[in-house]
Chains A and B, each alone.
Chain A
Amino acid sequence: MWEYTDKVKDHFLNPRNVGIIDDADGVGEVGSLACGDALTFYFKLDENGKIAEAKFQTFGCASAIASSSALTEMVKGLTLEEAKKITNEDLADYLGGLPKEKMHCSVMGRDALEKAISCHLGEAEKEVEGEIVCECFGVTDIEIDRVVRENHLSTIENVTDFVKAGGGCGNCHDRIQEIIDGIRGTVHPKRRNSPALTNLQKIKLIEESIEREINPNLKKDAGRLELVDVDGNRVLVRMGGNCASCIKSPVTLKHYVESKLRELVAPEIVVEEVP
């Protein structure tokens, strides 16, 4: 069971400002049914440009409902300039904190608020900005970059807690790590373009590429690749899992595994399967 604060429980069991504003000045919709949570946020301004009324509808868990309810309370009486400054941390703090696995609920609230403000300012609904990193939850590199910077995140797990990215199939873990490394100033070994690798370095890099890049992809089809040996530029591998019995595995080996290793390690690599 999650440890929710009394304030979270209160906002969940007695949510404030539930509903729709038909003549709203701004509406922000985020999330989806498939993702497991979604929020529609409405606000109406008074003659002084301050938020007079805010309402919401939320599909999701207790902390998603509580975060939405808290958001509507927090923005009341603020100008849009002031409302814009609300961060996901402010939302979580208002509720006395959220379990770390539930921080994405506060991010969802913040996102809905931003969308509603852009909607009011007449800014065209931004097409997905940046490049989609997590396909399971539709999260872009720009969103990940922002959440890492704002909340000082350092691991993939943190990123998953805050924006869900990486919480599904796991294929995007490498890319998330790259973004984190980029911000933290650490250099990812994969991106090193070293002209001459020692044998040991090469083996390490091959191993790492298989574990981090290739196997997570093969795992989608319950397949697996095992490194058996490296002899010069010959990489000897064994196919496991479903790959072992899959008639397409020679194709996978040449078209995917070999080209991936050529890209990541050295262009001369030749991959061979051993029984």
Chain B
Amino acid sequence: MMIEKPVDILLVEDNPDDVELTLHALKKHHLVNHIQVVRDGVEALDFIFGSLGNSPKVILLDLKLPKVDGLQVLQRIKSDPRTRSIPVVMLTSSHEERDVIESYRLGVNSYIVKPVDFGQFAEAVRQIGLYWLLLNWPPEL
């Protein structure tokens, strides 16, 4: 995979509508410049381990993904010293307790339930973008 410029946000999301809504919300807040979208867990892992040394500032990870699901992706990221410090935010429809617990056990940095209401959803995406891209100070990789 060719990487032309550094990626700020890696969005791992298989639902094209959710992708579009997320991008729309990010664009509205001028946060869409360096974003990469992948559609499943395999693509996500390929991208992450293919861009070592130039990792995204935050990964927005859905739980339910084709091929390799979100928790497995999370586990791979957090168990590898090279990727462990990349912030991962679960952005998912599930507010099942076990998903929350399992995500934190695996070392997720944040867990956000996508609201049905687009207003709330857009606000959540805005805050995530602002926080991780502007406020957060990650270690130099």
Q: Do A and B interact with each other, yes or no?
A: no
Question: Chain A: residues with CB nearer than 8 A to chain B?
Answer: none
- Chain B residues packing against A (C-beta within 8 Å): none
